[in-house]
Amino acid sequence: MCVKKLTIYLSLIQNYIKAILASHHLSLLLCRFVFISVLTYTVSAKTVENDATLNNFPQNYIELKPSETFVVKRETQPSQLFPTFLTSINNQILISNYQDIYVLDYEQATLSKLKNADQKNFKSWTPSGMHYNEKNKELFVSNELLNSIIVFSFSDKKQLTTKYVYSGFNEPKNIYCSKTDELVVANYSANKVSFYKRNLSKLTLLWEQELFGCHGVCILDNKVYACGVGTIACWDFEGKELYRCQSILGKDLLFPTSVMPLSDSKTLAVCDAKSGYCFLVTPQLKGIKYLGGNGIGLHKFNHPYSIYSHHDELVVTSVYQDRIAFINLKTNRVQSYCLHPNNWEWLKNETMDPNITINPTSNNLSQLNEIMLFENLWFPARDRLQYKEKFLFMPSYIVPKSLGIMAQPWYAISYAENENKLLLLANNSRIALLIDKKTNYMEFIDLHTIDCWGNGVDILTPQGKRHLDSYHFLRHTPEEFYQQLPFRTLQELAEFIGIKSEQLEIKSSAPPFIRLNQIIKERPLNESERADLSSEFFTYMTDTNNPLYANILEVFSFYALTKSKNYSLLHCFGDKAYRIFQKIPEEQKKEYIAYLKIILTAQPKLTKAQQEKLFDIMKDARYLTNILAYSIAFIKPKTSYKNRTVLLETMKKLNLENRTLLFKDLLYFSQGLSDKKLDLFIYSIIDKDKLIIDRKIPMILAKLVDQGFSSVIKKSLLVTFLSFLPSQHQEIFLNFILDISIILNKNINAI
């Protein structure tokens, strides 16, 4: 019995069982409803077949219900196929992926490569958009890199034979030929919709219209529809524009890549690869329903690239799930044909909420907290980390030679993080970046699959949930990197981390990067240049007004070339700082020097000569906060309680502006701090008149509470810390600690 027929019988049995159990499910849902305001709850597959979460979805949203999942049998091919474009011929679905064309026999759940008898005659074979013309039994295929469209005859022997070749296009994507031989082409690189009349081997251009990033096209009722970046538009056969829209049902169109008519000829289906949503619209481009969204699991998509109507079902290619989804719009059930095994099957037994959906219109796509990296805070976004005017782009198309796999650009960024490590990953790449938070050492690692998402300390993959601790540095340890600092050349650094040196070339237009690039093109840095650049880099990164457009590897290279493993304070100062210091009033200057004497007492490694030198080139108040932050971060744990208390007292004398700067510095220097140093760190949240609570503070305080304040020193420091606060703020702070401790379920009798 074929798979499709068996599926129908199973569905009937399942519906009968569900009817019997309906009253049980109703009572179960009523019980759970009480908790929805507090927790997002996912019903287990054991009860309702992994139907989606109990959220209140918008009225026009179709909540997909994953049903059968078939692992497609196929010939030996790449581990990931990345299905992109599709069309249908009879009971077969044709899929292209810019390399070959495949036939999916969904009744047998098999995939086979379509033979192109004339492929050797083409200089390049990069099949993209396809359309089957039932009238003439012809298959139209865009051969993208050759800027041509090829018309094939299609035989039952799954072989293509060339009939006509049309040239003169500009990276054509989707194509569509009407029953009356009108042909519309998405001229992607020309940013145009091109409309032709076809007469066998001859094409006559009737008109062209501008449409940026034109990608999807179709014809319905003597109207031409096309979609591109942020837009869907419609023209009549004379080229007159009839309709245009940039959003559907309140969802902005980001990059709709495919538009096709449904079998009823009254509705259009549109898929937006960038947002992950698929839409049903009227011929006037008015929204009817929408479904999907990029996210985790088979009720979501990951870069839906093409959509097609086939026998009253929607067929969608979810590129980075390596999946073809068949959607029944009457039951909202989705059958999945997966091109590699174990595609999110593990979620059926999970009671956690896997419903992580990216927000395509937000800078923070995955709605994750900010992370600290290279002296700055960052939010994950599409192909980058971003904070205000600073953009840290991900290393697109970079794969270490040792991994021997095809590279992909990075799209939606997410991360997994613990105290020591940070793993940056993208929803479409099996390559991730593992970073040591203390030293900023980074290595590329292989996740062995696409469609992975960071979530807390876990990485959610199609094969299961993996803990961050299961991923390790392979080439070197962070300590080995730390001992190697500073690197002398980019070549030396590239060999160390295992990539090509040209991939580390610094091209950023930020002033510190320009200066570094000018020097290293001629010779390695000397110590004075290294110190100056390191200070300039720190100042530039911590000032939110400075724009930055750089690749993460450029910043890593800058750091590795300028950062010394010797954390001497002398690296922070120069002649410019000395001139600034001379302008400070004499009394204030004496006060700063008094602070420094206390700090240097806690830094026994500095010689007397170094101390004198440090006094000579002291910076202004901005750099004093840098020193204070540095001292707290690297102060010796054995430093006496008296010295530590005096240090806190001196910090209290800073004005609000400098205390805020100190807080920023401490956020940077606190990376990798031991528990015995965190007790000093919490002082930075104090303001003269109020408590400053930053998003990082709950994490720090939670860590302190997690230790239970068991040590005598910590309890003493807490008392000292509280004594600095006005009485009304002492109560606020203690209540804050209590709230966190309740969440952590910790005993805090020590307070």
Q: What is the pLDDT of residue 313?
A: 93
711, 678 in Cβ contact below 8 A? no
| Confidence grade of residue 196 (pLDDT, cut at 50, 70, 90) | very high
pLDDT, tens digit, for every residue of 417-444?
A: 988 899 999 988 888 999 998 888 999 8
pLDDT at 502 over 60: yes
Answer yes or no: is pLDDT of 16 > 90.
Answer: no
Predicted TM-score (pTM) above 0.75: no
Q: What b/e sequence results for 653-687 when a residue is b if at least 16 CB atoms lie within 10 Å of its CB, and e otherwise?
A: ebeeebbebbbbbbbbbbbebeebbbbbbbbbbbe
Candidates 304, 314, 306, 337; CA nearest to 142 is: 306
Residue 499's pLDDT is 83
For the residues 614-633, what does the mean pLDDT come to?
45
Q: How confident is the model at residue 1 (pLDDT cuts 50, 70, 90)?
A: very low
CB atoms within 10 A of CB 467: 12
Share of the chain above pLDDT 70, in %: 62
Top mean-pLDDT range of 23-27, 59-63, 238-242:
238-242
What's the CA angle centered on 643, arms 709 and 660, to 5 degrees?
75
Alpha-helix runs per DSSP H in 652-726 = 656-669, 675-681, 696-706, 712-723
Q: Is the pLDDT of residue 328 over 90?
A: yes
Of 674, 748, 742, nearest to 709 by C-alpha is 748
Q: Across 26-30, 154-158, 617-621, 657-661, which has the greatest mean pLDDT?
A: 154-158
Asked whether the predicted pLDDT for residue 38 surpasses 50, the reply is no
Checking if the pLDDT of 416 tops 60, the result is yes
- Tokens of residue 11, six digits: 């569905």
pLDDT at 101: 93
Where exactly are the structural domains of the chain? Answer: 3-56, 66-349, 371-562, 569-744
pLDDT of residue 654: 54
Give the mean pLDDT of 235-253.
Answer: 95
Confidence of residue 257 (pLDDT cuts 50, 70, 90): very high
Q: pLDDT for 70-128, tens place per residue?
A: 989 887 666 778 899 999 988 789 999 998 999 998 888 899 888 887 777 788 889 99
* HSE toward the beta carbon, residue 88, CA cutoff 13 A: 22
Q: Give me the pLDDT at residue 309, please.
A: 93
What's the start-to-end Cα distance of the chain, in Å? Answer: 70
Structure confidence at residue 4 (pLDDT): 41
Whether the per-residue pLDDT at 232 is higher than 60: the answer is: yes
Higher pLDDT among residues 124 and 209, named by residue: 209
Pairwise CA distance, residues 473 & 411, whole Å: 24
Mean pLDDT of the chain: 73
Number of C-alpha atoms within 13 angstroms, CB side, residue 189?
Answer: 10
* Residue bearing the bigger pLDDT, 235 or 401: 235
pLDDT at 482 over 70: yes
Look at residue 540 in the predicted model and tell me its pLDDT: 83
Beta pairing partners, 166: 149
Q: What is the mean pLDDT of residues 149-163?
A: 83
Give the model's confidence band at 366: pLDDT under 50 very low, under 70 low, under 90 confident, else very high.
low
Fold of 66-349: Neuraminidase (2.120.10)
Contact 227, 257 (CB under 8 A): yes
What percent of the chain shows pLDDT beyond 90? 36
Q: DSSP 3-state assignment of 579?
A: helix
Helix (H, G, I), strand (E, B) or coil at 640: coil
Pairing mode, strands 384-387 and 390-393: antiparallel
660 to each of 117, 371, 629, how far by Cα in Å?
70, 19, 11
Between 582 and 288, residue with greater pLDDT: 288
| 48: pLDDT strictly greater than 50 | no
pLDDT in tens, 559-613: 999 886 543 333 333 333 344 445 556 665 555 555 444 444 444 444 555 545 4
704-725: pLDDT as tens digits:
444 443 343 344 444 544 554 5
CA distance 6 to 2: 6
- What local confidence, expressed as pLDDT, does residue 204 receive? 96
Specify the higher pLDDT residue, 189 or 20.
189
Structure tokens at 301: 């998509």
